[in-house]
Structure 1
Amino acid sequence: MQRRTALVGAAVVAALLVTAGVGGALSTGAAPAQRTDAQMSDTITVSGSGTVQAEADRAVVRVAVVSSGNDVGDVRADLSDNAQSMREALAETGIDEGQIRTAYYDISSQDRRRGPGGDEADYRGLHAFEITVEDPDSVGEVIDTAVEGGANEVDGVEFTLSQDRREQLRQDALEDAMDDARGEASTVAGAEDLSIEGVDRVSTTDFSRSPYEARGLATGDAGGTSINSGPVTVQASVTVVYDTSG
């Protein structure tokens, strides 16, 4: 009887161990993954561009004082005298020193450029200036004043924008770029039966302006220089990521 009792007890213990093992296996099993709303959402990435044009409210006139001679000191003095004379003449028309900037200065020997038997001077000097003009309509007068004052080269005119005007037009171009991107996103979403829920993020990828360059100089009826300006173009681009559902 004692032997039978021991065997029964062993069987009970074994059964408990097996049951515990099954229970442990069931309790450690991973719960099935559930897809959240965040995982179900999709995005559309599009680019848009905007372009606006406006009349220039600023101009940059490029002129130069040029001198040549066989004595480097004389060339340097000639450049200095003519540049000072030009500055004084411009000051009388309201152009102050802050609007006149040296763009390039050079005095070089002509030996390397002069061919056999050439009669060029030994030295050539050049002092180039950029003159900022706040009133584009007065560009012709500024050119005439600079030339009469001592400049002997006119390299061109760039019609551009002031900082405030440039920023205003940039904002307009960005608004047009966003409208363009929104239209692109709507087209893509409609083709895939998706709904646009909102903007996830936006980045500006490009901003540029194209000033108007005046290449030719015309003479007016009174003998003065006449320059016609043109529109300045401002462009902006954006990349937009839209949240969608469907």
Structure 2
Amino acid sequence: MNQIRNNDNHSLRNQDGTRGNNKLRVIGKGTVSVRPDGAEVIVGVTTEDKQLEVAQQENAQTMQQVINSIRAVGVPQRNIQTRNYNIRPDYDYINGQQIFRVYEVSTNLEVAISDINSVGQIIDTAVSNGANSVNGIIFTISDETAQYYEALRRAVEDAQNKARVIANELNVNLDIIPIEINEQNEEEIMPAVMTLKSSNASTPIEAGENIINADIEAIFVYSKY
């Protein structure tokens, strides 16, 4: 939690010249809606075979084909990163007995996409070249810091407006400059999980808008007129 203290000289004073000691605590909320200009998508290849070497070889060949196809549509190598590589045996259970079925080999790639309009094309390209899962799409904003600062400014303004309303209702004198501001922790937003199959139709991707929130706790000083 970030803390900002105010040392402004325009502090509210009581009639005897002392600073007011009545405190008003409010929560300010600021929201900014921004259309994303990029995306991150995780595409995966899962292969199975009774022989581990065969499953590994098929996985490696298919994944290389996926990588080549993604690069061919304009994604640079630096934007393609292996996320994880897993090998696990898969079993059937018959009459209470564990019977080996196949080895399952899976590899996931994280692909950073700078052109928001090409997300659907890149997913289709990956799927048509062997990818059999898409674990999530996260829409990103290149200048998220500036947008968050705007949301933070709106949160401060919201806190001041709330304090004014309360002070007017109570008929008290309010120092509109808070003596303390606490920035609240941001909430984590998890991406949706989806699985795609190859088809002749183009995958429609609608980015919508990202919502950037900023919450603060502000403490104001007030006194009677």
Shorter-normalised TM-score: what interval? 0.7 to 0.9
SS at match of 1:132: strand
Tell me the residue number matched to 2:62.
Answer: 82
Percentage of identical aligned residues: 24
Judged with a 3 Å threshold, the aligned counterparts in structure 2 of structure 1 residues 126 and 219 are, in CA distance, closer, same or farther, namely closer
Tell me the residue number matched to 1:26.
Answer: none
2:179 partner letter: D
Judged with a 3 Å threshold, the aligned counterparts in structure 2 of structure 1 residues 212 and 228 are, in CA distance, closer, same or farther, namely farther
Distance 1:40 1:83 in 2: 68
Tell me the residue number matched to 1:186.
Answer: 164
Tell me the residue number matched to 2:153.
Answer: 175
Task: Using the TM superposition, give the Cα deviation of residue 138 of structure 1 relative to its aligned residue in structure 2, in angstroms.
Answer: 0.5
Tell me the residue number matched to 1:71.
Answer: 51
State how 1:22-101 maps to structure 2 within 5 Å.
37-38=17-18, 40-101=20-81
Q: Please provide the CA RMSD for this pair.
A: 2.9
Judged with a 3 Å threshold, the aligned counterparts in structure 2 of structure 1 residues 128 and 153 are, in CA distance, closer, same or farther, namely same
Asked whether the 8 Å contact 1:178–1:238 carries over to 2, the reply is yes
Structure with greater proportional strand content: 2
Distance 1:218 1:172 in 2: 40
Instruction: Report which stretch shifted further, 63-72 or 43-52.
Output: 43-52
Structure with greater proportional helix content: 1
Task: Using the TM superposition, give the Cα deviation of residue 202 of structure 1 relative to its aligned residue in structure 2, in angstroms.
Answer: 1.2
Tell me the residue number matched to 1:128.
Answer: 108
Tell me the residue number matched to 1:28.
Answer: none
Asked whether the 8 Å contact 1:61–1:158 carries over to 2, the reply is yes
Task: Using the TM superposition, give the Cα deviation of residue 218 of structure 1 relative to its aligned residue in structure 2, in angstroms.
Answer: 10
1:241 aligns with 2:219: yes
Asked whether the 8 Å contact 1:58–1:160 carries over to 2, the reply is yes
Distance 2:203 2:182 in 1: 45
| TM-score, normalization by structure 2 | 0.79
Question: Greater CA radius of gyration, 1 or 2?
Answer: 1
1:203 partner letter: N
Distance 2:127 2:149 in 1: 39
Tell me the residue number matched to 1:150.
Answer: 130
Distance 1:209 1:234 in 2: 11
Deviations along 1:123-147, whole A, 9 cap, x unmatched?
1111122211111210111012212
Greater RCO, CA 8 A, separation 6+:
2
Tell me the residue number matched to 1:227.
Answer: 205
1:78 partner letter: E
2:46 partner letter: V
Tell me the residue number matched to 1:201.
Answer: 180
Judged with a 3 Å threshold, the aligned counterparts in structure 2 of structure 1 residues 211 and 56 are, in CA distance, closer, same or farther, namely farther
Distance 1:208 1:170 in 2: 13
In structure 1, stretches of 5+ residues that fail to align are 1-34
Number of aligned residues: 207
